[in-house]
Structure 1
Amino acid sequence: MRKITILLFMLIAGIYTRGQAQPEAKAKSILAEVSKKYRSYDVVKAEFVFTIDNPEAKVKESQKGILYVKANANKYKMSMDDKDLISDGKSQWSYLKADKEVQVSNVDNSSDALNPAHIFTMYEKGFKSIYTGESKSGGKVYQMVDLAPNDIKKPYFKVRLSIDKIAKQISNVVIFDKNGNKYTYNVKSFMPNVKVPESIFIFDAKKYPGVELVDLR
């Protein structure tokens, strides 16, 4: 009887392990396809809506933004209602519109903050991934993948990706942090290989007259 119980337990454990492995393998396969396509681009332009939501604190705020990213380099320009973020891969300029102030700092690749340049590739390292199914909206089918950071000290515990099944592009990113905040990047348009000058990734003081520069390097 004891041997039968042990064999039954091992059988159930084996089924459970295979069941878990399948969604993980599917997630990796989906993300590999997304990464391959994205990495084939030069500069991409994405228009998005960024939302902060915390039901407990009764906070829900949204604003529109435009993001330019050099797909295979740590360069970006993100313009939102309240600020602009620009980086040439070495320095980052944060323009706070209300304060008419620009803060320049070194790019910190080890920061817990999510780098705008990595919003479409953040899953490539540092995460465990699992496929959770499909969702339909607006005539499109989206593949849902949940990410969990390997480093449990991260301020967020889960990232949910919605991936356009046909286009192989990330359409929605939801970040769940440990303080109950939910940050959503809802991509409204995605344009690959846009033509922009390299200077777009460098802060040009001439375009911001009267703005105070604060060097934090």
Structure 2
Amino acid sequence: MLALCLVSLAGQAQSKGNIPQMLERAEKALYSSGATIVEFSSTMGDKSGKMGPTEKGMMYLQGDAFRLEMGTLTAVYQGGTLSYYDSSEATFTISRPSADELMLINPLYFLRSRAKGFAPQSLSVTSSQEVVRFTPQQKSNVKHVDATFNQGSGLPSQLIFLAKDGGRLIANIPQIKRRAAYPQSFFTLSADSYPGCEVVDLR
């Protein structure tokens, strides 16, 4: 359920575009001072191509920390530790996710490092947008990520993940806003806030 990972196997690279500059603009737009609020919707599909229902959520980015709110799930990440509460199961889970797991939870996180560890390939370029394919350079369950960037703002508007097992996830990002920084407490969760929950510590 913490996922975002998949896409169509299409195509060969077309125009190259200036990918390093575009990634620099995207990183600054998402991770400059203050916080970023990302509204998104995601749809997951299995290896047969059957797509599931669309879920909407909110992501709050601030430096290396983030908070995700989607359906019954509230998750926070800070200092290498992920904590999340699932109200449908009354479980509070703590873990130290791998880089692969982290990207599935927050697919925008890899833009924090300007896609370090990925080989970028421009698939298409127009006056309004550029589509770039990112292929992991190290062992990963993700085959590649296709990201659509707005040429004007440098912000991503769609991310499509293709997993090696054939699963896929399509995340659309209709709105991204900036605001003043949140207090650090916004990016922390405690099991004490959810009386009676089952605590699962995977660290």
What's the TM-score, normalizing by structure 2?
0.80
* Separation in 1, partners of 2:159, 2:84: 22
Structure 1 or 2, whichever has the larger Rg, is: 1
Alignment of 1:148 onto 2:135: yes
Aligned length: 189
Secondary structure in 1 matching 2:179: coil
User: What is the letter of the counterpart of residue 125 of structure 1?
Assistant: K
Match of 2:19 in 1: 27
* Separation in 1, partners of 2:154, 2:91: 38
Distance 1:131 1:58, change over 3 A: closer
Query: Could you tell me how far 1:79 is from its partner in structure 2?
Result: 0.8
Match of 1:80 among 48, 65, 70: 70
Match of 2:184 in 1: 198
Deviation readout 1:96-149 (Å, 9 max, x if unpaired): 2211010112x234445415261543652011112222368xxxx221111111
* Separation in 2, partners of 1:31, 1:167: 11
Could you tell me whether the CA contact under 8 Å between 1:53 and 1:61 is conserved in 2? no
The structure showing larger relative contact order (alpha-carbon pairs under 8 Å, at least 6 residues apart) is 2
User: What is the letter of the counterpart of residue 135 of structure 2?
Assistant: A
Map 1:109-120 to 2 at 5 A: 109-114=98-103, 115-116=105-106, 118=109, 120=111
RMSD: 2.6
Alignment of 1:99 onto 2:89: yes
Could you tell me whether the CA contact under 8 Å between 1:161 and 1:172 is conserved in 2? yes
Map 1:34-73 to 2 at 5 A: 34-54=26-46, 56=48, 58-70=50-62, 72-73=63-64
Query: Could you tell me how far 1:48 is from its partner in structure 2?
Result: 0.5
Distance 1:171 1:41, change over 3 A: farther
- Bigger drift between 141-150 and 37-46 goes to 37-46
Query: Could you tell me how far 1:183 is from its partner in structure 2?
Result: 1.1
Secondary structure in 2 matching 1:210: coil
Secondary structure in 1 matching 2:53: strand
Deviation readout 1:45-93 (Å, 9 max, x if unpaired): 11110110236153423211111111x32x1110111322112223211
* Separation in 1, partners of 2:180, 2:150: 20
What's the TM-score, normalizing by structure 1?
0.75
> Structure 1: which 5+ residue stretches go unaligned?
1-19
> Structure 2: which 5+ residue stretches go unaligned?
1-12
* Separation in 2, partners of 1:39, 1:195: 11
Distance 1:90 1:157, change over 3 A: closer
* Separation in 2, partners of 1:121, 1:155: 20
Secondary structure in 2 matching 1:190: strand
Percent identity, aligned pairs only? Answer: 20
Alignment of 1:210 onto 2:192: no
